[in-house]
Amino acid sequence: MRQSSLVVVANRLPIDDSVAPDGACEWRRSPGGLVSALHPLLRQTPATWVGWAGGTGPAPVLPDVDGVHMRTVPLSADDLRDHYEGFANATLWPLYHDAVEQPEYHRRWWEAYQRVNQRFAEATAEAADPGAVVWVQDYHLQLVPGLLRELRPDLRIGFFLHVPFPPPELFMQLPRRAELLRGMLGADLIGFQRAQAAHNFAQLATKVLGLPATDRRIGVQDRVVRIGAYPVSIDTAEMAALAARPDVTARARRLRHDLGDPERVVLSLDRMDYTKGIEQRLKAYSELLASGDVKVRDTVLVQVAMPSRERVGQYQILRDRIEREVGRINGEFGRVGEPAIHYLTQPFDRAELAALYRVADVMAVTPLRDGMNLVAKEYVAARVDDTGALLLSEFAGAAAELDRAYLVNPHDLEGLKQGLLSALRAGPTDLGDRMRAMRHHLHRHDIRAWARSYLSALDDTGSLLTRLSSSG
């Protein structure tokens, strides 16, 4: 069994399967996200990524990706239903996002969550060198730090939650709240997107487990668990370089032409999820069309909604509702050859995505609750000429950093409409100032800076970090 001094553990592996030209299935590195963040480090270190390859049945044996060993964890059809679709995405996901949909509690889902977390912990224990650094990601795997510490007390264990961590009033609903907290506390360092989340966690550690806690440290028997905010980011330079490419610039021009050369293009790009506030945004847009403040002739809305978690009931209902509403708005306000909303559910490659960002005069990112929202950051990174306006929800983690955006409360329909109108009507000087400040921030706080600050806090012996900085 091959062992590594750095092990990343995440529900999904950082690779996608795609169909090669000869019809065979091939695996390639997923663009963006965690993989780019960790790439420089993973390249320099014998590293393993433990995760699920998608699908059910026996785990496929996968090739290394850029020298990183891929260790697959299999999920059965029952695990998929009860762990991934059930406890992770129909209990924790809605609960952690302000319960904007009702979380469901089923004992069978909890059993599956424990079983799958145990499987991940065992695979990780096998893959890690003595004294290795292990970095566990996100809400699917909250029990892994505790289970892993029992199996391998020699490891340095980090946990990072990419989604919000809710206030005690909500978290207290969870039937197995104590076990979930204890699971996370198996880590040496627990990272959150925002300081408020660390505060919520500290309060719960005292309230539920009776532990001494501040917003930075929690005492657990003879150990101290550190907690803190480490806002995740993007590969800013990579997105900026892509957006500046001549073919992408040309593609953006062509897209604007295909959209009818309107004065203003508004873009929204979401996973199809009830946390993203898509319905509220459509309602605001439709009211602006009805009042004549926005005219189909001058302004087009491009709404991209990528289907997600499609077997979960709440997601199916949401998709039906959104598609009905888009149809209604287009029926009422569109004209032949001039729809009010261009609605797309297809995946895009990175170059097409960058072209869309470049064509958007206003990017509307208005989730009801979001851990971070990397689309907002990608848009800013792509605006290499300092034009364009970002309309951003106060309830996205990104709002803590991108405070020069047009910030709105997506529950407040009038505020949402006014925010969109201000963004549509802003002058170039104001927009330029705002965009420049936000781009500057993202160049300093990119995904490498995120990985470096988290790992330097986790790995206080510093051996991994030396390699990260020497690899640039």
If binding is defined by CB under 6 A, does position 163 make contact with ligand G6P? Answer: yes
Site size toward ligand G6P, by CB under 6 A: 6
* Given 12, 69, 152, 377, the residue binding ligand G6P (CB under 6 A): 12
* Catalytic annotation, residues: 162, 370
- Smallest gap from Cβ 468 to ligand G6P, in A, equals 23
| Residue (340 or 372) nearer to ligand G6P, CB | 372
- Smallest gap from Cβ 299 to ligand G6P, in A, equals 30
If binding is defined by CB under 6 A, does position 309 make contact with ligand G6P? Answer: yes
- Smallest gap from Cβ 103 to ligand G6P, in A, equals 16
DSSP 277-291: -HHHHHHHHHHHHHH
| Residue (32 or 419) nearer to ligand G6P, CB | 32
If binding is defined by CB under 6 A, does position 256 make contact with ligand G6P? Answer: no
User: Residue 209: what residue type?
Assistant: L
- Smallest gap from Cβ 137 to ligand G6P, in A, equals 7
| Residue (117 or 299) nearer to ligand G6P, CB | 117
DSSP 235-299: -HHHHHHHHHSHHHHHHHHHHHHHTT--SEEEEEEEES-GGG-HHHHHHHHHHHHHHTSS-TTTE
* Given 149, 152, 162, 448, the residue binding ligand G6P (CB under 6 A): 162
* Given 196, 308, 409, 471, the residue binding ligand G6P (CB under 6 A): 308
Both ends of the chain: CA-CA distance in Å? 30
Beta bridge partners of 26: 18
If binding is defined by CB under 6 A, does position 369 make contact with ligand G6P? Answer: no
| Residue (273 or 325) nearer to ligand G6P, CB | 273
- Taking CB under 6 A as the rule, which mask of x and - marks residues 262-301 in contact with ligand G6P? ----------------------------------------
- Smallest gap from Cβ 366 to ligand G6P, in A, equals 17
**Residue in this structure with the two tokens 């206003």, named with its chain if needed:** 362
Residue 17: phi and psi, rounded to 5, are: -95, 140
Angle at 447 between CA 192 and CA 442, to 5 degrees: 100
Asked whether the beta carbons of 259 and 297 are under 8 A apart, the reply is: no
Distances (CA, A) of 179 to 46, 151, 183, 190, 267: 32, 17, 6, 16, 42
- Smallest gap from Cβ 263 to ligand G6P, in A, equals 34
Two tokens, residue 453:
């600050």
Helix (H, G, I), strand (E, B) or coil at 47: strand
The CA distance from 440 to 169, in Å, is 37
| Residue (140 or 439) nearer to ligand G6P, CB | 140
| Residue (68 or 301) nearer to ligand G6P, CB | 68
- Smallest gap from Cβ 29 to ligand G6P, in A, equals 15
Distances (CA, A) of 401 to 97, 194, 246, 397, 429: 20, 10, 30, 8, 21
* Given 79, 101, 138, 235, the residue binding ligand G6P (CB under 6 A): 138
Residue 410: closest CA among 423, 395, 424: 395
Helix (H) or strand (E) holding 9: strand 4-12
| Residue (398 or 431) nearer to ligand G6P, CB | 398
User: Residue 427: what residue type?
Assistant: G
If binding is defined by CB under 6 A, does position 377 make contact with ligand G6P? Answer: no
Residue 423: closest CA among 279, 329, 340, 299: 299
Name the residues that contact ligand G6P, by CB under 6 A: 12, 138, 162-163, 308-309
